[in-house]
Structure 1
Amino acid sequence: MEPLIALVVVTLAILGAGAAGMSRLKPWPVALRGGLAAMFVLTGVVHFVWMRAELISMVPPALPNPGFIVTITGVLELAGAAGLLWRPTAPWAAAGLSLLLIVMFPANVYIALNGLTTNPADALIPRTLMQIVFLSATIAVVASYMRHRSSQRPTTAPDNSQR
């Protein structure tokens, strides 16, 4: 639940700052990038402290070296958070984080189906709904940049006949 709270609170705070006159923070994709970055910093850090053992236990036993997998996913989450904060890399970071969310989802199913949940928010339905929110947010960042990029392209080919 904490990642969802971080996403919502930071996104709303940035939107509020934009509405209060900080023009660089006004566009919703900027606010969403900030909220996602905060969320992925939070989730990335817990791969190394506080919940490391719990995250290692979430890795399905069919996968080798769970500690290494948790380390790699933590590094990817932190790198993705940093990438979201720099505009030129933001859509790439959001796309990579979208893929990471999809790849890591089976661990959520595994813990829910095997009774490893310690919190009602860790049950399959709430976790799935939160993953949908997170994935929707990352995809929205990618889509906004794709839309912005396509709107900047010329709609017709240049006329070279008058040379």
Structure 2
Amino acid sequence: MTVAVLLVATVAFRLLGLLGVRRFATWRVSAAHGLAVMLVMTASAHFVPGDVTFMPNYDDMVAMVPSFVPFPGFMVYLSGVLELAGAVGLVLEPTRRAAGICLALLFVALLPANVNAAQLGLEDVGSPLWQRVPEQVLYIGIALWAAGLRRPSADRPAAVDHQRVPSDQGGGR
């Protein structure tokens, strides 16, 4: 479900770019916004009361936390806040790079909880391990791409020629 949200949101933002919304003129920026939409969705589960059963909730999230992690309830709230902060950081150009890097690190840090959920068979919040690990790799890759760490050559500025200006343009001889 989260991959579908990420993909649909990314394509929707890019289509807006094709319709003239300059903010979404590139796939990289559209993907950053798509990841932000996905993060708002996933972070919401960290704050939903346990008696809500139509979606993952706080109690489900606490059940995912491996036993070696201290203060599981606090960690659930903290990771939800970090996901929301990362979503905001992705949509703001000045913070996009830092947000993408921090989110990639967060996705790595959260992988043990996802592995634990898969091992415990928590279907409400976890995916099977064969699916979850590639998903997590996808999220890490998109976060780093959104951060601008992996930019295609077309996005890079042209090289500047540092040679002298010809004499007819600089008040030369």
Same fold (TM over 0.5): yes
Q: What is the CA distance between 1:39 and its match in structure 2?
A: 0.7
Q: What is the CA distance between 1:106 and its match in structure 2?
A: 0.8
1:79 to 64, 81, 85: 85
- For structure 2, the 5+ residue unaligned runs are 49-55, 165-173
Distance in 1 between residues matched to 2:70 and 2:98, nearest whole Å: 28
Q: Alpha carbons of 1:150 and 1:120: their partners in 2 closer, same or farther (altered >3 Å)?
A: closer
Counterpart residue number, 2:17: 18
- How many residue pairs were aligned? 157
Q: TM-score, normalised by structure 2?
A: 0.80
Counterparts of 1:67-106 in structure 2 under 5 Å?
Answer: 67-106=73-112
Q: Alpha carbons of 1:24 and 1:94: their partners in 2 closer, same or farther (altered >3 Å)?
A: same
Counterparts of 1:134-145 in structure 2 under 5 Å?
Answer: 134-142=139-147, 143-144=149-150
CA RMSD of aligned residues (A): 2.6
SS of 1:69's equivalent in the other structure is: helix
Q: Alpha carbons of 1:150 and 1:21: their partners in 2 closer, same or farther (altered >3 Å)?
A: closer
Q: TM-score, normalised by structure 1?
A: 0.84
Counterpart residue number, 2:167: none
Alpha-carbon contact 1:7-1:35 (below 8 Å) kept:
yes
User: Identity over the aligned pairs, expressed in percent?
Assistant: 33
Which segments of structure 1 move beyond 3 Å, counting only runs of 4 or more? Answer: 144-158
Larger radius of gyration: 2
- For structure 1, the 5+ residue unaligned runs are 159-163
Counterpart residue number, 1:5: 4
SS of 1:47's equivalent in the other structure is: helix
Distance in 2 between residues matched to 1:62 and 1:33, nearest whole Å: 32
